[in-house]
Amino acid sequence: MNKTFNAFWVTEQENGAFTSEVKKVPFSVLPENEVLIKVHYSSLNYKDALSASGNKGVTKTYPFVPGIDASGEVMEDKSDTFKPGDKVIVTGYDLGMNTFGGFGEYICVPASWVVPLPKQLSLLESMIIGTAGYTAAYGVIRLQRELITPESGEVLVTGATGGVGSFSVFLLNKMGYKVIAATGKPGATDLLKEIGAHRVIHRDEIYPEKKRLLNKGIYTAAIDTVGGAMLEALIPQMKQDGAIACCGNILGYELNTNVYPFILRGVSLLGIDSGITKMPFRLNVWETLEKLGTGFPERAYRKVSLMELPSEIERILSGKQTGRVVVQHSHS
């Protein structure tokens, strides 16, 4: 085995700026965990862009290798849970936050974070899905638990062209739901319909002319990837017994709302945390994704190399990213 590997290396400069380069790093940079994995694919998520640009709420110390997602093959496992050559996935936990992540050709992680690659998925497909698809599936499962069925009514997805948003549209449609995709990109209507949207609306339509404690009940259910003012606008517009799976904070982490939608309409706000899901539930979510997660339209994802990451990171931070970005390592 080589003594070094390629990694997308993010450094904090003395002036406080953050810079990145693709460089060869020794294996000694990896933490001493149980499972050494040769990463074939990773994917770009919003959180990776935050880590790569020095957001200390995500990554505390630099130099660092981001990448909250990885799929690849086991090289060695000190816990003897996995055999060399086993194909596996790691998403979430501390990967790419404060444990060197999938933007490096190798990762070393605790065995308890590792999921065997579901039989019907390839390493590439698992990363087209990645944390974004996993989060979308988690959101749909939470809505189902609230008895939101395809017969209940349309499901709204906000940030619909984003990673979580586009996968939510895709999965909901495959499960028989009619999806309203809310986007700020009018040019993406055809793509969203190809992914599975029944109707596409401009995201500005969600903001009511006048925000009241209870607005007219319009939406049955939603997967909200945006948070902030978007979520504040949505809550009073939910119908009786409506449910919102809340997973993002693109517009901010604060939420100014009131209790009437909850106590007078029985609205549910469902929290989604894909990072620390316990393993039995995590495996359930991957089972769902094994059945429904393939066939994401080719037009809705791109494969990029480590060298291409800076422009992709800039695009996702400015809200201009569409669909999924898969990172392909040179040895895959």
Ligand X SMILES: NC(=O)c1ccc[n+]([C@@H]2O[C@H](COP(=O)([O-])OP(=O)(O)OC[C@H]3O[C@@H](n4cnc5c(N)ncnc54)[C@H](OP(=O)(O)O)[C@@H]3O)[C@@H](O)[C@H]2O)c1
Residues that bind ligand X (CB under 6 A): 45-47, 131-132, 135, 159-165, 183-185, 203, 225-226, 230, 247-251, 272-275, 316, 319, 321
Min dist CB 50 to ligand X, Å, is: 7
- Please state, as a whole number, how many other Cβ atoms lie within 10 Å of the Cβ of residue 92: 22
State in angstroms the smallest separation of the CB of 68 from ligand X.
8
The 10 Å Cβ neighbour count of residue 81 is 15
Is the C-alpha dihedral spanning 185, 127, 18, 254 positive or negative? positive
Identify which of residues 109 and 195 has a Cβ nearer to ligand X in the complex.
Answer: 195
Considering the complex, state which of residue 23 and residue 320 has its C-beta at the smaller distance from ligand X. Answer: 320
Tokens representing residue 207 in the block: 């903001």
Residue with structure tokens 């404060």?
98
Q: What's the min distance (Å) between Cβ of 163 and ligand X?
A: 3
Name the residue nearer to ligand X (CB basis): 277 or 328: 277
Which of residues 47 and 87 has its CB atom nearest to ligand X in the complex?
Answer: 47
H/E run at residue 52: helix 46-52
Nearest distance, CB of residue 23 and ligand X, angstroms: 26
What is the identity of the amino acid at 37? Answer: I
Amino acid (one-letter) located at 162: G
Least separation in angstroms between residue 161's CB and ligand X is 3
If the CB atoms of residues 97 and 267 are measured against ligand X, the closer one turns out to be 97
User: Regarding beta strands 155-158 and 179-183, do their DSSP bridges make them parallel or antiparallel, or are they unpaired?
Assistant: parallel
Shortest CB 24 distance to ligand X, Å: 29
Chain residue at closest Cβ approach to ligand X? 162
Any residues with CB less than 8 A from the CB of 30 and at least 6 apart, and which?
36, 100, 104, 106, 107, 108
What is the token pair recorded at 256?
């100014």
8 A C-beta contact, residue 136 and residue 20: no
Q: Which is nearer to ligand X, 89 or 316 (CB)?
A: 316
**Which amino acid is present at 124?**
L
* Cβ atoms within 10 Å of 258's Cβ, excluding its own: 13
User: What is the smallest separation between the CB atom of 184 and ligand X, expressed in angstroms?
Assistant: 4
- Residue 226 CB coordination number (10 Å): 27
Closest to ligand X by CB, 69 vs 146, is 69
DSSP β-bridge partners for residue 87: 73
